[in-house]
Structure 1
Amino acid sequence: MANFVLVPGAWLGAWAWEEVAAELRAAGHDAHPLTLSGLAEKRDLPVGPRTHVRDIVDEIERLDLREVILVGHSYSGIPAGQAAALIGDRLTRLVYVDANVPVDGESFVSAWPEGRAMVEAAIAGNDGRWPPLPAEEYAGQGLTDGQIERIVAGATPHPGVSLTAPAELARPLAELPTTYVKCLLDGEVPPPEVAEPVKAGHWRLVTMDTGHWPMFSRPRELARILLPAAAGS
């Protein structure tokens, strides 16, 4: 039995993983969706540069989880990748779901050469938080109107400090057993930092014919992609 630790992307909480978690549990595994500090039901908790990394590590250690498949979506690939390098032999596999991959010394906004100023301005103009996307920004991502309404209704402003803090990697990520899930409606090419470990055979690349939020648009298919990680593949 594996322990899936599911970390949502920007603006979202553990609730975003409900359908995927149900599928994983039905297959006989444990699923632990995690809300990061400053978001959803934890929106009032303080957030510093390393808080989200500690959120993940502390939850795994608090529950004494072993055989961990650590799953990070979108933004949360940044703290999940850093956390994976800290939990030692508790980790079975790291899975990035259409996610940002941490680069030592770089932040989430570092990957936005054209949009960085826009994101930083939005954070500065909203009490240090990145406001959620409006409904029209979810068009073309394989989501129904109801799914979009659910995301927008549940989204909370994202703590800006977590987006601008540079990553600190305890070990090279290419050493970790990793799967990268690329959602093709959000672009067919994964981030540049994914190409080298995939080409070298260190990471596994999987594609989904859906948009950036597959836990809503294709939860059952996403669960089927995650399940082989429980067998170490």
Structure 2
Amino acid sequence: MTTDTSNPILLIPGHWLGAWAWDEVSEHLTSLGHRAIPLTLPGLDETDTDRVTRTLDEQVAAIEQAATSSSGPVVIVAHSGANAPVSLVLDRHPELVSRVIWVDSGPATSGVAFAPDFPEDTEGLSLPPFEMLGEQASIEGLSANVLERFRERAVSEPGTVLRQIVQLTNDARFDVPTTFVCCSIPSSQVMELVKAGHPMFAEVANLKSVDYVDLPTGHWPMWSRPSDLAQILASESSNN
């Protein structure tokens, strides 16, 4: 193992997931000489008795706290639905981030909430049946054992987080070096959507420094290709 001289890597999981989702990737990163810091965001800790009332702002604050505890800027890895709190961190404190790596994800669009009409009387969004989930995001590469662990450990996403609108105002967020790890959608298709001005990729066209890396697999590469994902994260984290 080499000596760790790189920026710490904060690993932020998407919906329904905690720090545990990064276990294998963290092990590989450590073996490559990197300091990996997986996070469980507020609202996704099943032991938190107030978790259903946690907000997007609290998730942002947790990421900021982890970033400021480092001696210098950090690399932030954001998977899937982590794009909302990470986008807000980039907007509020871009100086804390040396690079952001989006894993089958991308920056949130200002003025948009993940589910603005999510019912006020519903505490959270539970992990749907895998047949339904597979229609929304590819589960390619996930074994029966992995899917069973996913089901057992998944925590419902708080409705308060899903309904909160992301407001972005600081153009300095566009200066943060950015990498897209493209899994269920290849980079060629992502770049075409950006070029076409697709609203889901409105922020991408404004980024100053962008790299694309293809990792063909499903939407959860931390389980389907953990070693390959770790190699990419290690390489991109040193690319500053």
TM-score range, shorter chain: 0.7 to 0.9
- Residues in 2 aligned to 1:211 and 1:153: alpha-carbon distance in whole angstroms: 20
Taking structure 2 as the reference length, the TM-score comes to 0.81
- Residues in 1 aligned to 2:146 and 2:187: alpha-carbon distance in whole angstroms: 20
Quote the offset at 1:18 in angstroms: 0.6
Q: Percent identity?
A: 30
Segments of 5+ residues of structure 2 without an aligned counterpart are 1-5, 191-199
Match of 1:128 in 2: 123
- Residues in 1 aligned to 2:24 and 2:201: alpha-carbon distance in whole angstroms: 30
Q: 1:186·1:212 contact (CA, 8 Å) conserved in 2?
A: no
1:43/1:133 CA distance change after superposition, 3 Å: farther
Counterpart among 64, 73, 78 of residue 70 in structure 2: 64
Q: 2:108·2:203 contact (CA, 8 Å) conserved in 1?
A: no
- Tell me which amino acid in the other structure corresponds to 2:209: H
Q: 1:178·1:204 contact (CA, 8 Å) conserved in 2?
A: yes
Counterpart among 34, 38, 46 of residue 43 in structure 2: 38
RMSD: 2.4
Residue 11 of structure 2 is aligned to residue 6 of structure 1: yes
Structure 1 stretch displaced more, 218-227 or 65-74: 65-74
Measured against aligned partners, the alpha-carbon deviations of 1:4-55 in whole angstroms (never above 9, x if no partner) come to 0001100110000011111111111111100011113454344124111111
Match of 2:177 in 1: 177
- Tell me which amino acid in the other structure corresponds to 2:109: V
- Kindly tell me the number of residue pairs found equivalent between the two proteins: 219
Counterpart among 72, 84, 89 of residue 83 in structure 1: 89
Taking structure 1 as the reference length, the TM-score comes to 0.83
- Tell me which amino acid in the other structure corresponds to 1:131: S
- Residues in 1 aligned to 2:213 and 2:206: alpha-carbon distance in whole angstroms: 14
Counterpart among 94, 104, 127 of residue 98 in structure 1: 104
The 5 Å alignment of 1:83-232 reads: 83-109=89-115, 120-121=118-119, 124=120, 127-136=122-131, 137-138=133-134, 140-172=139-171, 173-184=173-184, 189-190=189-190, 191-193=200-202, 195-197=204-206, 202-232=209-239
1:65/1:160 CA distance change after superposition, 3 Å: farther
- Residues in 2 aligned to 1:4 and 1:134: alpha-carbon distance in whole angstroms: 32
Q: 2:139·2:218 contact (CA, 8 Å) conserved in 1?
A: yes
Structure 1 stretch displaced more, 38-47 or 89-98: 38-47
1:25/1:170 CA distance change after superposition, 3 Å: farther
Match of 1:53 in 2: 60
Measured against aligned partners, the alpha-carbon deviations of 1:129-177 in whole angstroms (never above 9, x if no partner) come to 1111223334752211111111111101111111121112252332211
Match of 1:25 in 2: 30
Quote the offset at 1:128 in angstroms: 2.1
